[in-house]
Amino acid sequence: MSTVQLYDTTLRDGAQQEGISFSVEDKLKICQKLDELGIDFIEGGWPGSNPKDTEFFARAQNSRLTRSTLVAFGSTRRMNSRVKADLNLQALIQAKTKVVTIVGKAWDKQVTRVLETTLEESLSMITDSISYLRAKGLRVFFDAEHFFDGYKDNLGYALQVVTAAAKAGAECVVLCDTNGGALPQQIVEAIKAVQKESRVPLGIHTHNDAELAVANSLAAVEAGVIQVQGTMNGYGERCGNANLCSIIPTLKLKMGVDCVTEVQLSKLSDVSHYVSELANMPHYDRFPYVGDDAFTHKAGIHVSGLIKWEDSYQHINPMLVGSRPHVVVSELAGKGSIIFKAKERGLPVPKGKEVDKVLEQIKSLEKQGFQYDVAEASFDLLLRRAQHNYRPPFELVDFMVVIEKRRRPPRTGNREEPLSEATIKVNVDNRIVHTAAEGDGPVDALDQALRKALLQFYPDLADVKLIDYKVRILEETAGTASQVRVLIESSDGRENWRTVGSSTNIIEASWLALADSIEYWLIKQSGKA
């Protein structure tokens, strides 16, 4: 097959995922990104079901989509009613899209137990609705809901639904694995059975409840469907929908289906991240193709192979989907990992015994609880400190942290708060600075004292904020004597970076991560001077 229609339902089906709620403005922005990606049809929502979707379709009429066609979604007429009086169908017409998708039941049990009507009335609801919308000049896609379950339970009725929709004028009948439990071979078998009964173009709409949504969609394409429905990042109710971010590159790069251009495909990673940002959902690092870990290499032998031949441990060129290879350094690393990472991050490349020294140090520190694959700023400093001419912007002389439970005016509410106070001495340009500060807890007090000492030398340090702080116990069986790892994420409003510290003393572990965070930023700033 030379091409397949891509149908995105992120704004409707994807928005049914727990925790996702797109504003009208969000939906309009996502439409533009999907258009740039080369999506053929964008399902914008269900007009008339809620004020937000009604407003979206009103505003979307002014959208300048160059590639995509906007689609309004709705159901068939209600049972025992007239199409002209059906508010759902009227809302579809008022949405003023050229294409509409309507959904109807293809599983007899859904008809009798959920709709609580007869199979004959259900078929009339489907044909009446499609015929009416076609008479209004609209292109109509029909979603045969629960088709694959219906095929197993009552083959005759499921096929009747498809043929009835086709005769009524549906341009494409989309077979839906609504409960997400079908297997690829079952998908293919059912599609072939439909093809014997009708020549109507078919589409596929799968859910991921058995983690087979992508596989089922691709199997359907091989069986001859011409339209694939899915969502960005696989968003959707329960376990989600078929992930278009996996389907699109697989169709294009592995199955020879020219569904998007090379330029459009190169935008895939950016669009995936953009949609997750507007959905206010963390972008899953282990997404195929578009996840941050999709082309990440940790084992030394893998990195060594990658340096010699970029395809040795990658199934595609990451650049094709707008990504890039990424190497993380850990106790599993080899010399090649250190060299690759240094070049990647624009750092001095260690040579000869320097590489051995850095590698030995990394393995030793990781045994103590440090973890550099999630704290690249600390790794940068490790490489810099290996250089004989490296001079840190400050050095710790000593610090002391006091936590005292005593009566004092509470900052909030009526609760008595422990006092956390840190005293610190640092050496800056051969000057010893001795400061003290209070904070909301010992780590905050230490942070405040360090900043107080350094701001007189580096006033721009005020821009740096600690935005995340995580503690992990590494040896649970040791109880309160356990080794702990502290990960700190910091930001100056332009860049975020992570640092790590580890110790049996949580304050010391926090200090190591905190000091690395400040030192990393100061070194970066000095390089810009």
Fold of 394-457: Double Stranded RNA Binding Domain (3.30.160)
Q: Tell me the mean pLDDT in the region 30-48.
A: 97
Beta-carbon neighbour count of residue 196 at 10 Å? Answer: 8
pTM value is: 0.72
Which CATH number is associated with domain 369-385+463-529? 3.30.160.340
Predicted confidence band of residue 483 (pLDDT cuts 50, 70, 90): confident
pLDDT band at 453 (very low <50, low <70, confident <90, very high): very high
Q: What is the CA radius of gyration of the chain?
A: 30
Average pLDDT over residues 504-515: 92
Angstrom distance (rounded) from CA 144 to CA 107: 9
| Residues 520 and 494 sit within 8 Å (Cβ to Cβ) | no
Report domain extents, the chain.
5-252, 296-367, 369-385+463-529, 394-457
Choice among 86-100, 191-205, 303-317 with the minimum mean pLDDT:
303-317
Q: What is the largest CA-CA distance in the chain?
A: 91
> For residue 295, what pLDDT is reported?
80
Q: What backbone torsions phi and psi does residue 31 show, to the nearest 5 degrees? A: -55, -45
Read off the pLDDT band of 479 (50, 70, 90). low
Is-same-fold flag (369-385+463-529; 394-457)? yes
For residue 298, what pLDDT is reported? 67
Could you tell me what percent of the chain has a pLDDT over 90?
A: 69
pLDDT of residue 332: 46
Q: What number is the average pLDDT over the span 435-451?
A: 92
Quote the tokens at residue 500.
């790590």
**pLDDT (tens digit per residue) in 218-259:** 999 999 999 999 999 999 999 999 999 999 999 999 999 999
**Mean pLDDT of the residues in the chain:** 89
Closest by CA to 202, choosing from 224, 219, 230, is 224
Q: What pLDDT, on the 0 to 100 scale, is given for residue 529?
A: 36
Superfamily of domain 5-252: Aldolase class I (3.20.20.70)
Whether residue 496 contacts residue 467, with contact meaning beta carbons closer than 8 Å, is answered with yes
